[in-house]
Amino acid sequence: MQAQPANLLNFLRGPKQFIIPIYQRPYSWTTAQCQQLWDDIARVATDTSTPTHFIGSIVYIQDRVQLLGGASIPRVLVIDGQQRLTTITLLLAALRALIEEREIKNDSVTSQKIGNYYLFNPEEDGDLYYKLLLTESDKLTLTRLLKRESEPDRPSPRIKETYRFFEDQLRRSNVSPLEMYQGINKLLVVDIALERGVDNPQLIFESLNSTGLDLSQVDLIRNYILMDLPPHEQDDLYTTYWRPMEQRLALSEGSGLFDRFMRDYLTMQMGHIPKIGQVYTEFKQFVQARRPASLRPIVADLDQHSRHFARLALADDPDPSIRAAVQDINQLEVSVAYPFLMQVYNDYGQRKLSRDDFVQILRLIESYVFRRIICGIPANALNKIFASLYTAVEPSNYLNSLRHAFARLKSYAHFPNNEEFREQFAQRDVYSLQRTRSYLFRKLETHNHREPIAMEGLSIEHIMPQSIERSLAWQDMLGPNWREVHAQYLHTIGNLTLTGYNPDLSNRPFLEKRDAKPGGFADSHLRLNRGLATLDHWNEDTIKARAAELADLALKVWPGAGVTTDETHAHKTDKPETLTPAEMLGRVFRDPRDLQVASSLVRELVGILDSHSARHVLAVAFPSGHSINFTIGAWFVLYFARRKVGMVASFCFDHALYPNLEHLQPRRLDTYSARYSGGRDFRWVTLPFSHLSPLPEAFVEAWRAGVTHTAHTFKGWRASQSVNGHQPQLLDAFLDDKLVLNPTYFSFDKR
């Protein structure tokens, strides 16, 4: 790597071409960034005491294009600095146009010199004629602008906006065009040339502190995937997979869908939810844990699942039943279910489940979420629930296994049963559910009906009005306890309906609301109002009766899991099996080498406690076919899990002894466990097995401190008290050299 300061215009001058690689993001500077650059240049343009102004670095790899006769044109592949280069190019283009328009005569700068020195390679043809070649979405807009040709059918909006901004600034500024050129001539960059095959452009790119727009997580991932590849492989992967993903997820429109997809994809693959600002870091760990010979299969898988994500986010599946179900899920704003639904969508595409079962699964998710809303269950646990839900799916019994999985959920995760949902639906203040109430009434009105209604023309009507303080007619109809009835039932489902005549009905007495023409309940075309047409009174009894009727309808609109507790228990236990310790290890550790790594950690754990204490306090559990955990009292101290990315291990450690783990997103202990910490900052961190050889000694010390403190805190607990399903023979298996080192049992049928 060679780095040196350089005058920007001298850096641009001469026969050369700056190429923005396909993996770079499109031109993204907004007016705010352009205004800052303009102000800086205008200031130094008239300040004789400021000889230079630094605007950042330009990092590149240089190649050459061989021409006829042996000459060559240097081609500069820009790694960092493309936003500055593009912006300066647009400013120079606008300056060239104004100098030509005003016929400004000056020996040092002319419109022709600006073009020949900084915008074009005048002796070349084709693409080599242009000094700067942008990525596909911006290239044609810039080249046509520079040649003053008509813009393409789909021009780059940011390229156009920036050029027009500089045109306007040059015309309105008190700084003359020649002074502005002198200001540009004071711009200084750091010229950083990399050598292909020697320098690592990805590491250098990550370490740069750009003063422009921060790169998104997807920008960083795209660069990570493509930057180190030979140009022909970059073109192939970008054209075949990445560019279609950008177009599919509307990256150029700044919708944020691509970033959301990448986070959901990693959640789906890794079983936990990356922090928003750590998606790139998690993606690198995901790739490194797989140790792929090529990134192509991973990019192909990204492309495949981006199709499913787009079907979900845009609700554009060609099948009307699937599309309608997804639209309803989206109206509930339950995008946290996407990691799970992408996997189900993928299985549906591979015909592992029927179209009808797929629709029923979508409707099951909708019912689960809506029932929880009505029952007032907080939604903050949904992301974790959906992140791991797919592990409960049995491919041979897809829909029923999912129903049983929902029925088994307990506590904050539970699927409200019919009794709980019906009671809450009748009593709940549903009018306050502003994000959900339109959906609620639409579903009630259109259930089992093929003719949709336009909710845009309808509003929610309080049959008993919101204000009855001055209405003797309403007070008489409700009875002597009218205040209590009004307070208790005003916003409940029994007192609410739909109408297109809300201002006309207003606070009128019930019979006038019923008989009004047009727009009264008896005159309404809506099914929700049919029962109101035959009533002569509206009071507590009729409100409760209508609420019960609508609650019965709600059970049909939003059905439950569809299985009883007894059926779920039978489903869970109808195939009992007893596994040996070797089989448990074989279920979790698919590779004998992973088991050896795990065994060394277990030995370290036992050594911290000493053998006698370990057998007394250390509880070992095999809760599923893909994990084994070690618990002391109320705390996990070691945890192994098999995920799609490979094996991972989790540790409880003393954060004060090893604070530099922030990039690995250490999690704080839950409230129940943290109350035993004695004020110390204990945390929980998960590492792929690829990061465990060797563990930093400082981290091992932090883990030992965590284990030692935990053992002291729970020294009165026995292992069998700590967890259900304590498997003491598993500890012996981990410590048995013959068992751990013998790979024969890895060949049995594993789920």
Give the confidence band of 12 by pLDDT, cuts at 50, 70, 90: very high
DSSP state of 272: S
pLDDT confidence of residue 340 = 95
Q: Is the pLDDT of residue 712 over 90?
A: no
Kindly indicate the confidence band of residue 417, based on its pLDDT and cuts at 50, 70 and 90.
very high
Query: Mean pLDDT lowest for which of 119-123, 149-153, 286-290, 375-379?
Result: 286-290
**With 90 as the cut, is the pLDDT of residue 240 above it?**
yes
Least confident of 100-104, 214-218, 487-491: 214-218
- Going by their DSSP bridges, the two strands 682-688 and 667-668 should be labelled as antiparallel
Structure-token match 């999985």, residue found: 405
Per-residue confidence (pLDDT) for residue 373, from 0 to 100: 95
The pLDDT value given to residue 746? 40
Find the range with the poorest average confidence among 92-101, 481-490, 573-582: 573-582
pLDDT at position 677 is: 53
CA dist 546 and 542 (Å) reads 6
Query: Three-state DSSP class for 223?
Result: helix
75-79, 339-343, 530-534, 746-750: lowest mean pLDDT where? 746-750
Long-range contacts of 595-602 (CB under 8 A, 24+ apart): 595/740, 596/740, 596/741, 597/647, 597/689, 597/692, 597/693, 598/640, 598/647, 598/649, 598/734, 599/734, 599/735, 599/740, 601/638, 601/649, 601/692, 602/630, 602/638, 602/731, 602/734, 602/735
Higher pLDDT pick, 180 / 615? 180
- pLDDT at 573 (0 to 100): 43
Residue type, 154: R
The pLDDT tens digits of the residues spanning 584-642 come to 888 788 777 788 888 888 888 888 887 677 777 888 888 766 788 888 877 788 988 87
Asked if residue 667 has pLDDT above 80, the reply is: no
Residue 719 scores a pLDDT above 80: no
SS3 content of the chain, % helix, strand, coil (to 5): 55, 15, 30
660 confidence band (pLDDT: 50, 70, 90): low
Q: Residue 179: exposed, middle, or buried by beta-carbon count in 10 A (0-12, 13-18, 19+)?
A: middle
Q: Which residue has the higher pLDDT, 277 or 168?
A: 168
> What are residue 312's phi and psi, to 5 degrees?
-75, -50
Average pLDDT over residues 525-533: 92
Task: Please report the pLDDT score of residue 743 as a whole number.
Answer: 45
Q: Regarding predicted confidence, which is higher, 73 or 751?
A: 73
Better pLDDT: 725 or 535? 535
Q: Model pTM?
A: 0.67
Sequence letter at residue 233: E
Inter-residue contact 85 to 79 (CB < 8 Å) = no
Rounded Cα–Cα distance for residues 644 and 282 (Å): 14
Report residue 717 CA to chain centroid gap.
Answer: 41
Structure tokens, 11: 């850096």
Listed in sequence order, the residues at least 6 apart from 257 whose beta carbon sits closer than 8 Å to its beta carbon are: 249, 250, 251, 309, 310, 313
**pLDDT above 70 as % of the chain:** 85
pLDDT value, residue 614: 78
Residue 493 pLDDT: 96
Reply yes or no on whether the pLDDT at 183 is more than 60.
yes
Q: Determine the pLDDT at residue 689.
A: 80
Q: Count H helices, E strands: the chain? A: 35, 14
Q: For 257-288, what is each residue's pLDDT tens digit?
A: 888 999 999 988 887 888 888 898 889 888 87
Residue 751 has pLDDT above 50, yes or no: no
496-499 and 459-462 beta bridge pairing? antiparallel
| Cβ 635 vs Cβ 676: under 8 Å | yes
Question: How confident is the model over 548-593, as pLDDT tens digits?
Answer: 999 999 999 999 998 655 555 555 544 445 678 887 888 788 777 7
Q: Among residues 384, 407, 376, which one has the least CA distance to residue 336?
A: 384
pLDDT at 391 over 60: yes
3-class DSSP assignment, residue 44: helix
- SS3 for 148? coil
For β-strands 17-19 and 72-80, DSSP reports them as parallel
> Is pLDDT above 90 for 411?
no
DSSP 464: S
Q: What is the pLDDT of residue 663?
A: 55
- 339 closest CA partner among 396, 398, 400, 260: 260
CA–CA separation, 306 vs 183, rounded Å? 46
- Integer-rounded Cα Rg, in Å, for the chain is 33
Q: Is the pLDDT of residue 37 over 70?
A: yes
Angle at which helices 257-270 and 217-226 cross, to 10°: 70
- If pLDDT is split at 50, 70 and 90, which confidence band does 722 have? low
Taking residues 20-28, what's their average pLDDT?
84
CA distances from 461 to 14, 430, 466, 513, 525 (A): 74, 12, 10, 11, 15
Q: What is the structure's pLDDT at 541?
A: 95
Residue scoring higher pLDDT (720 or 249): 249
Q: Which of 192-206, 280-294, 518-532, 663-677 has the highest mean pLDDT?
A: 518-532
- pLDDT at 567 (0 to 100): 54
pLDDT in tens, 300-322: 999 999 999 999 999 999 999 99
Indicate the average pLDDT of the chain: 84
Which residues are CB-contacts of 379 (< 8 A; sequence separation ≥ 6)?
A: 336, 369, 372, 373
Choose among 423, 425, 401, 404: nearest CA to 415: 404
